[in-house]
Amino acid sequence: MKAKIYITLKNGVLDPQGKAIEGALGHLGFSGINEVRQGKFIEVELKESDKKKAEAKIEDMCKQLLANTVIENYSFELAS
Amino acid sequence: MKSAVIVFPGSNCDRDIKVALEGCGSEVAMVWHGDKKLPDVDLVVVPGGFSYGDYLRSGAMAAHSPIMNEVKKFGEKGGYILGICNGFQILTEAHILPGTLMRNKNLKFICKDVYLKPENTDTAFTSGYKDKKAIRIPIAHHDGNFFASEKEIKELEKNKQIAFRYCTKSGSINDKSNPNGSMNNIAGIFNKEKNILGLMPHPERLWEKAVGGEDGKAMFESLIANFG
């Protein structure tokens, strides 16, 4: 089973990298951009075949290491 | 005083802090991050550097090294812990100190001397800075932008947990003297009990005249005066 994990900055947390990307897109001539926020994408291949157990495991991984919950949110989807 | 310096793969200020502590009169033991036991010491230093190449987030991997469980327990029992730069990042990632260190506001690695205002000199780390308006200490980091929730910031301020703020040479605290975008110009914080200090600047890099300044020395002398 494969987990696709998305880590994003919480609302209200300043994202200077997102701002820089926004600026660069503007320089390239892309208009009409309200805001750019950047984050991380992580794939984890699991041996677990039980969906419930896999979800609990990924949840734990996110809390303990993959995301810093002071500033980041996480979400994930599982695919077999 | 007896000190232990934790060495992670990618630490690069571990020897500097050893030399500074020894120079000020402490015995120093180097402890590998994979060890599961701390020697009998008064102070544990989590040094600066780039543990695990800053992978994922600065300090995230090192925070889960085997020795960090022991460091956490040591702090909970009242043991003194000093985290410098990457060491500060590791302490926040290990939830030993609150908040986190984000990418610098200007996105650049900043390496220069800055001025710090000691905000609480009633601690074992900072008693040597009594009546000092500003001290000169270098910073060298990419992720030093201190962030915490509004509630946490209020708690830090209320409990006198702010150790140092970035200031001008004359000691005024403003946006201009804030190199990295840190909330409230915060450069270093204590835990509530004041036995743990984390700071982004490097006191071990300016501790004797031969290296260009000695404003960092008072921190080590304060600790040594506290422990004898």
Q: Which residue of A has its CA nearest to B151?
A: A70
Which of A16, A65, A66 is nearest residue B103 as measured by Cβ atoms?
A16
Q: Which two tokens stand for residue B28?
A: 């120093």
Counting one residue from chain A and one from chain B, the pairs whose CB atoms sit within 8 A come to: 34
pLDDT value of residue B103: 94
Which residues of B are annotated as catalytic? Answer: 85, 202, 204
Question: Per-residue pLDDT for A12 more than 90?
Answer: no
- Within 8 A of A20 by CB-CB distance, chain B residues are 107
Distance from CA of B137 to the nearest CA of A (A): 26
pLDDT value of residue A80: 78
Question: Per-residue pLDDT for A39 more than 80?
Answer: yes
Mean of per-residue pLDDT scores for chain B? 97
Q: Do B60 and A65 touch (CB under 8 A)?
A: yes
Question: Per-residue pLDDT for B123 more than 90?
Answer: yes
Domain boundaries, chain B: 2-226
Instruction: Kindly state the average pLDDT of the residues A36-64.
Output: 96
Measuring CA to CA, how many Å separate B55 from each of B32, B40, B118, B171? 19, 31, 32, 36
- pLDDT per residue as tens digits for the range B2-41: 999 999 999 999 999 999 999 999 999 999 999 999 999 9
Q: Do B104 and A70 touch (CB under 8 A)?
A: no
- Within 8 A of B146 by CB-CB distance, chain A residues are none
Which of A17, A64, A71 is nearest residue B147 as measured by Cβ atoms?
A71
Distance from CA of A65 to the nearest CA of B (A): 7
pLDDT cut 70: percent of chain A above it: 100
- pLDDT per residue as tens digits for the range B133-156: 999 999 999 999 999 999 999 999
Q: Which fold has domain B2-226?
A: Rossmann fold (3.40.50)
- Within 8 A of A64 by CB-CB distance, chain B residues are 64
Q: What ipTM was assigned to the predicted interfaces of this complex?
A: 0.84
Question: Per-residue pLDDT for B228 more than 80?
Answer: no
Q: Which two tokens stand for residue A37?
A: 């926020």
The pTM of the whole model exceeds 0.90 = yes
d(CA A44, CA A35): 29
Burial grade of A39 (CB within 10 A; 0-12, 13-18, 19 or more): middle
pLDDT cut 70: percent of chain B above it: 100
Residue-level length of chain B: 228
- pLDDT per residue as tens digits for the range B50-64: 999 999 999 999 999
pLDDT value of residue B163: 98
